[in-house]
Structure 1
Amino acid sequence: MPIEVASKRRKVQRAGAVVVDVTSRGPDPWVRFSPFYPHGGIPVPLSPGVTSASVEGVWQALKVFEDADVDPSKLGVTSMKGLKRTVRRFGPVRGHRAGLAGERLLDYRTARQEIYLPAYRWVLENCLQAEVARLRELAGSADVVLLDYATNGDADDLSTPLSHAALIVEHLGKAVRI
């Protein structure tokens, strides 16, 4: 059975499909797939010995703006709130620092490849084994639709945010595009 990704912003009507909300507003246990979820102990890429509570904490901590550098405090946020750092407050994004103490600034594509994807993959492999197994089980008996705010599964498509639900599908080895 296929696993698909659909926008949480739209009404999903798929007869017989199991709809699973993997956003930060989803129910337990599926909320654990959210990049905002505070699993703790997530290695910060390019920062040996440094960990984060969440994947989003890693992404936001390493973001560099015109008027602000890295923000290590984002690594410890466990409330799933107050993580975002915005251009409205800090000016245009210049890139992501290659580690907390890194000198290099990474462009958006490279940051996705070297920061976001490794951090999210680590969570899938180390924190979500039971949930991944449950999704595999569900997909074995029914079509599954994963809800996410973004549906872009192409890390090289920088025109829209990357869908963590699409990364889940890829991880499961059942990549389906809708």
Structure 2
Amino acid sequence: MPIHLASRRRTVASLAAEFPGAQIIDTTSKAMKPWVRLSPFYPHGGIPVPFCDDVTAQSVEGIWQALKVFDNADVDPAKLQVTTMRGLKRTVPRYGPVRGHRTGLDGARLLDYATARRLIYLPSYRWVLDNRVTDLLERLGQLTDRAEVVLLDYTTNGDITDLTKPLSHAALIRQYIKASQNDRRSESSPAG
């Protein structure tokens, strides 16, 4: 069965009308346990920080925010250790325009937004999918065998090249599950 994406801002009634009988799962930092563990804000701990040997973070969002550089502020290593899912965001109104993401806490290079998505955000979130939430991904895969599933996120942008909207981690979850299901199908099909 398919996995759909929808905005968490939608009403339960509108989701039920569009996806009758579907299992609706919130994947945001506002989700209930255990699904909140799929949020990039969730403090899994031990997440390797790209471009930093032997440095780990509590959350993917902590990595993203820690390495962000503004006109009036450089990296913020304290964001790597936030465990409350609060106080992670670093914003333009407070620090000025974003200049890029630094290649590590002490890196000399600044990455543009698209490159930072590919080299910082995606590997960090993929590490969480591979190492911290395999049980939840397995459950989601089993749910899709029986019913349609709707993953809620604040954005539904699954195109990493679309820089006009934040990237949806729910879209990354959907891609990961589809790829895993395709891999299982290939392994179980007879060699031709």
In the superposition, the TM-score normalised over structure 1's length comes to 0.97
* Runs of 4 or more consecutive aligned structure 1 residues displaced over 6 Å after TM superposition: none
What is residue 60 of structure 1 aligned with on the other side?
A: 65
Deviation at 1:101, TM superposition (A): 1.1
1:161 and 2:166 matched: yes
Deviation at 1:156, TM superposition (A): 0.6
Specify which structure has the higher proportion of helix: 2
Residues of 2 paired with 1:48 and 1:155: CA distance? 26
5+ residue gaps, structure 2: 180-192
Instruction: Give 1:14-93 correspondences, 5 Å limit.
Output: 14-93=19-98
Deviation at 1:10, TM superposition (A): 1.4
What is residue 111 of structure 1 aligned with on the other side?
A: 116
Deviation at 1:48, TM superposition (A): 1.1
What is residue 150 of structure 1 aligned with on the other side?
A: 155
Structure 1 or 2, whichever has the larger Rg, is: 2
5+ residue gaps, structure 1: none
**Cα RMSD (Å):** 1.1
Indicate the structure whose relative CO is greater, using CA pairs within 8 Å and at least 6 residues apart: 1
Residues of 2 paired with 1:44 and 1:154: CA distance? 23
Residues of 2 paired with 1:22 and 1:42: CA distance? 19
Amino acid at match of 2:8: K
SS of the residue corresponding to residue 151 of structure 2 reads strand
In the superposition, the TM-score normalised over structure 2's length comes to 0.90
Q: Number of residue pairs matched?
A: 175
Question: What is the aligned-residue identity percentage?
Answer: 63
What is residue 128 of structure 2 aligned with on the other side?
A: 123
Per-residue Cα deviation, 1:59-97 (whole angstroms, up to 9, x for no partner)? 000000000000000000000000000111100000000
Amino acid at match of 1:28: K
The more displaced of 165-174 and 99-108 is 165-174
